[in-house]
Structure 1
C-alpha cells in the first residue's frame, strides 16, 4: 500500500537505453533468435584492415563467447544479457551486464528498507551508495574480482551491481550487474569510462507498466 492507501501497481517489465553498438539478448525466451540476429547483423562484416580469414576466426570466437555468456547468465537467474557486439579494430570491448531476478523475498516497504540497509552494510567494496531508479531505491556496490580460472574467471575484473526491490512491494528483487576487465588495467581511464558508461545506462532505467 502507498501512503495514500492505494495499491501500487506491479510493473510488467523494465526499459533501458543502451549505447550504439550494444545489443540485448533475452534469456528466458527468444535467446537463439537474438543471437542469430547479432551474428548476421553485427558479426557478418569484415572490419577494415582485418583479413577475411582472420575475420572468420574472430566471428567464430565471438559466437562461442556469446553463447557461453548467455548460458551462464541464464543459469544464474538472468532475464537479459547486454553487451557490445560491434568489433572495433578487430576486437570487441570486453564488457557486459546482466539484469537478473534475485530470490531475496520479503514484501512491503519496511522489509525492503531493512534488506537495502543490510545489503549496504554487508558490502565490502568502495563507495557503496544508494540511488533512486524509477521510484525504487537501489543499492550500488562496486568491487574488484580476482581471476579464478577454475570458475571461468580468466582475468581480474571490476564489477558494479545495482540491487533494488521491484516496484509495487511484491517482494521481488532485481539486480543489474556489470563486469569488465577494461583494457587489462583496472585503474585505467578506459576502464573508468566503461564504468561511467554503465552508470549512465542504469540512469535511464524505467519500470514498464502494460
Structure 2
C-alpha cells in the first residue's frame, strides 16, 4: 500500500509538471491486469525545438543523439517513417514521505526507468513531439517486469502513424 501511495503521488506530480510544460496527453493504466496494477505512464507533449531560427531536423536529431544521457543511452531511430531519437535512462525523483510527526519527515529516492522519444512533425518544420515513458516497474528498475513494460512502450511507439484530417 505504501508503494502504491508513493507512486500515486509521483504520477500526480508528473501530471502537474507535464501540464505546466505543454503536455498534450497523459496515458495511465487505470485497471489491474492479472490482479496487478501496472505502475507506468507516458506523456505526449509538443516541444519548442528549432522554431526560430529554424534548425534543420537532422541537425537536431544528431545533436540529441550525440549529447548522450548520463547513465543511459541515446540513439537515432525511425518512428512513423520519420527520423527520431530514443533516449533511455534511470531517473530518481525526490518524494517527501508522509509522517504523522513533522520532524520525522524525510526524503526518499524513487528510481524510475525512463524512455523518451523526440520526433519531428512531418512537413511542419520547427514542430516536434516528445513521448516520455516512466515506470518504477515492480520496485526494481532492472527487473524482468520493468524490461517488459519498456518493451511494451517501445511497441506502442512503433505503431504511431501521422494522420491529417
Residues 65 and 123 of structure 1: is their aligned pair in 2 closer, same or farther, counting only changes over 3 Å? closer
TM-superposed deviation, 1:107: 7.9
Contact 1:107 1:170 in 2 (8 A): no
Larger RCO (CA within 8 A; separation ≥ 6): 1
Contact 2:10 2:95 in 1 (8 A): no
C-alpha separation in 2, matches of 1:63 and 1:184: 14
Contact 1:107 1:169 in 2 (8 A): no
Q: Residues 54-92 of structure 1: CA distance to partner in whole angstroms, max 9, x if unpaired?
A: 9xxx9x999887765533321121110011110257652
Residues 108 and 94 of structure 1: is their aligned pair in 2 closer, same or farther, counting only changes over 3 Å? same
Q: Bigger radius of gyration, 1 or 2?
A: 1
Residues 63 and 129 of structure 1: is their aligned pair in 2 closer, same or farther, counting only changes over 3 Å? closer
- Where does residue 30 of structure 1 map in the other structure? none
C-alpha separation in 2, matches of 1:92 and 1:185: 15
2:114 alignment partner, one of 146, 149, 159: 159
- Where does residue 96 of structure 1 map in the other structure? 41
- Where does residue 131 of structure 1 map in the other structure? 77
- Where does residue 88 of structure 2 map in the other structure? 142
- Where does residue 100 of structure 2 map in the other structure? none
Contact 2:45 2:131 in 1 (8 A): yes
With structure 1 as the length reference, what TM-score do the two structures score? Answer: 0.62
With structure 2 as the length reference, what TM-score do the two structures score? Answer: 0.77
SS of the residue corresponding to residue 56 of structure 2 reads helix
- Where does residue 170 of structure 1 map in the other structure? 125
Stretches of structure 2 that go unaligned for 5 or more consecutive residues are 97-106
2:141 alignment partner, one of 183, 186, 207: 186
C-alpha separation in 2, matches of 1:190 and 1:111: 38
Residues 101 and 168 of structure 1: is their aligned pair in 2 closer, same or farther, counting only changes over 3 Å? same
How many residues of Structure 1 are paired with residues of Structure 2 in the alignment? 152
Q: RMSD across aligned C-alpha pairs, in angstroms? A: 3.2
C-alpha separation in 2, matches of 1:107 and 1:164: 18
